[in-house]
Every structure is written in C-alpha cells, then in structure tokens.
Amino acid sequence: MLQVQFIRENQEKVLAGLQKRNFPNAETRVARILDLDTQRRELQGQLDRVLADANQRAKAIGQLMKTGQRDQAEIAKQEAAQLRTRSKELTDQLATAVATLDEWLVELPNVPHESVPAGTSADENEVVREVGEHPHLPTEALPHWDLIRQYNIIDFELGNKISGAGFPVYKGKGARLQRALVNFFLDKAMEAGYVEVQPPILVNRDSGYGTGQLPDKDGQMYHITADDLFVIPTAEVPITNLYRDVILEKDELPVRHVGYTPCFRREAGSWGAHVRGLNRLHQFDKVEIVQVRRPEESYQALEEMLAHVEHLLQQLQLPYRVLRLCGGDMGFTSALTYDLEVWSAAQQRWLEVSSVSNFETFQANRLKLRYRPEAGKKPEILHTLNGSALALPRIVAALLENNQTPEGVRLPDVLHPYTGFASIE
C-alpha cells in the first residue's frame, strides 16, 4: 500500500506511474485520497485540541475544589462533560475517516519503477536477453501431454476423478522428478545464502492483506469459509508474513529465505493449448525465494535474485529469455518485475517459469515491517522482494519436450544425483 505522505509529496510521479499501468480514473482517485487525508488530519487536530481542553478542565476542577470554589468547579465539570461528549463524536468520525481512507488506498496499485516500459499487455513486455539455442526436434516429436501418457508418469484423468481438472497425480518417475527438482532448487538456494523455512499453506486474512493478495486477488484464491482461511497461491505470502508487525535490528538484515510449498490458484482456465497439460494448473509445486532489504540495497538484490534463477535454468540446460514487464502486465504490488520464460520445443512457444519482483515499500507498509538503522533512532520502512526459483510444472514440460529422443527422455546431468536415474524410458 502506498503511503499517503508519499502520494502527497510525489503526486506527479504517482499519477505518471498509474498512467503507465493504465489504471482507470487515476487523477480522480488520487484527489479523493488526498481529500480524505485532509479530512482525517482536520479531525485529528480537532480531537487533539478537545482532549487537551478536557485535560486542562480536569486539572482546574481539582484546584477549584481545593480552594473551596464549588460553584466554579460545578461549571467546569459541566464543560468537561461536554468536551467528553465532543471527543467521543470526533473519535467516531476519525475512525470512519481512517477506514474510508484505507479502503481507497488498498485499491491503489504500486507505482512502477522508472525503468518499467509503458504498455497495455504482455505483447509489449521488453525482452532483456535470450540465452541458449532452441533444440531441433524431429517432426514426430511429441508435446509433453503425450509424453507423460506414453511414459505413464503423470495422470490427469485420475487427478480429475479425485479433485477435478488442474489437479494432476504424479506417479513413478514423474513423482521422483518432482521431488528431485524441489530438492535441487532448495539446495542451490541454500548454497546462495538463503535460509530454508517450511511455512503453513493456509493463511489468515491479515496475511493475505499484508502481501497484497487481498483484496486484489480475493476471487483467485481458494477460501475456507468456515475458518476464514485462504490456501496460499505462493509461498511468498506466509514467508513474507513472518515479518508482519516486526521491527528488525540493523544486524538482522538482510533477510533471505527460501521455502517449498504446493501452490493453489483458481484461475487456471480450461481450454486451448496454452492451458493444456502442465501449462496451467490449479495445484502445483514451487520453490520461492524472499528477501527483506534496506531500500538502498533492494535493486541490487533484485539483480542478484534474477541471476540466481538464470543460473538454475542454465544448469538445467533450458533455453530461456528474460522479460521486463510493462506497466499493463505487472502485478498489483510490484514496482519492477522480471519474468523468465523457457522455450518449449514441441509446442514452439515460450512458457513462463518465474517472476522476480521488487515491491519496494508497498508490502512493508501494509505489514508494518521496519528496521532500526541505529540504536535509539526512529524505525524506517524496508523493501521486500520475491522470486520463483522455480515453479515446477512448466519446467517439467520443457525438460520432457526438449530432451526427448527415440529411446526416451534424457535428463540433465545435474539432476541425476537427485533423481537416481538419467532418463525416462
């Protein structure tokens, strides 16, 4: 959530950023937020003055009683009672003003970083670089949904029977490949200095609000209504919320965490080749990296996280490209996002496998996540970052398609110690 003070002091920058996002009625919304903040300030000022007057009346009553001026004391008591009534009215009005202001603020997305290109859709994302050569497959090469059926490693029909579309069952070498990739990604993250955590996969409403999934993505999350809990769409939510309402000391920074969780998303879709097989699921596995950094370090940290994900793809020998998302394709909470896509040789298309984002203060402001730069000094707000490192379904799809041979699918050497086998035959 943007801070009102930031909006007030950087109104032109905020409006330009919202325009880059193609955010509707930006000027009207920002003006309304500033008006509401002015009302809040005026009410707070009135309340402070009334409380100060009430405090003075209370002291005066005691003094008047001591000196025997009972008539004047009774008048002061009546005035104090009127002030208490007025303070109650102002307190209620202030609470309403604050709640209304928050309702408007939570609907405002983050301001994009200056490097974010303008654009309205994914077609206008900027290609930063492309790495690796596209495999040349024989004409009889199969897409991954045919390969998994041929090798009996993933069963969509069985998953559909148990749960519904988008919930596959991994079997045999398919299940072992999943576990191998998770362990490989976790090990590489820990080698890079990340501390592993295993968070809950159910979160409360405050956690969803803290990282910005709520209210923005309320309809895309699975909701357990009886307990008002949400099944996580990404480990970013519980891991980042480890630091909700926390003031970190300077020597506790930077925070680097990695965690594996299943992820659940309702918006998987149900038709077309772009959602077929493993391309889009309701449930999938993902390893997530999260950082909490001082503002002056966060963009260097973002580049380090991007390099980490790129190194994973290089070790898996998958051709990939890096995209800088345009304003119209960015997530609600992000200031800058890099997407990484791998080349699917059988489908002849790019598949997104990771997003690496800097949220600047947007999440930290909601989370009330701060740090103390020096002992005795006022706490300052931090920056949060996260990245997929990596999401498994499309990695598996690309590994199967790009490495298929007449004898079977040959896996990259780096995975052999994790899988216990070199190929799927």
Rounded Cα distance, 369 and 211, in Å: 11
Q: Largest Cα–Cα distance in the chain?
A: 107
* Type of residue found at 142: L
Q: Is 265 annotated as a binding residue?
A: yes
Q: Cβ distance 394 to 368 under 8 Å?
A: no
Q: Is residue 353 annotated as involved in ligand binding?
A: yes
Query: At CA 336, angle to CA 332 and CA 338, rounded to 5?
Result: 105
> First vs last Cα of the chain: how many Å apart?
51
The helix or strand, by DSSP H or E, that contains position 52, with its residue range, turns out to be helix 26-66
Cβ contact 355:387 at 8 Å: yes
The answer on whether 288 is annotated among ligand-binding residues is yes
The answer to whether 266 is annotated as binding is yes
b/e string for 126-153 if b means 16 or more Cβ within 10 A?
Answer: eeeeeeeeebebeeebebbbebbeebeb
Question: Is 355 known as a binding-site position?
Answer: yes
CB 309, CB 356: distance < 8 Å: yes
Residue 266 near residue 219 (C-beta atoms within 8 A)? yes
Q: Is 85 annotated as a binding residue?
A: no
Q: Which residues contact 377 (CB under 8 A, 6 or more apart)?
A: none
Q: Helix, strand, or coil here: 252?
A: helix
- DSSP annotation of 185 reads H
Is the dihedral angle over the CA atoms 406, 408, 411, 413 positive or is it negative?
Answer: negative
* Interior/surface letters 298-337, b for 16+ CB within 10 angstroms, e for the rest: bbebbebbbebbbebbeebebbbbbbbbbbbbbbbbbbbb
Q: Are 195 and 256 in contact (CB under 8 A)?
A: yes
Answer yes or no: is 183 a known binding residue: no
Annotated binding site: 234, 265-267, 288, 352-355, 386
Annotated binding site for ATP: 265-267, 352-355
Feature table: binding site for L-serine:
234, 265, 288, 386
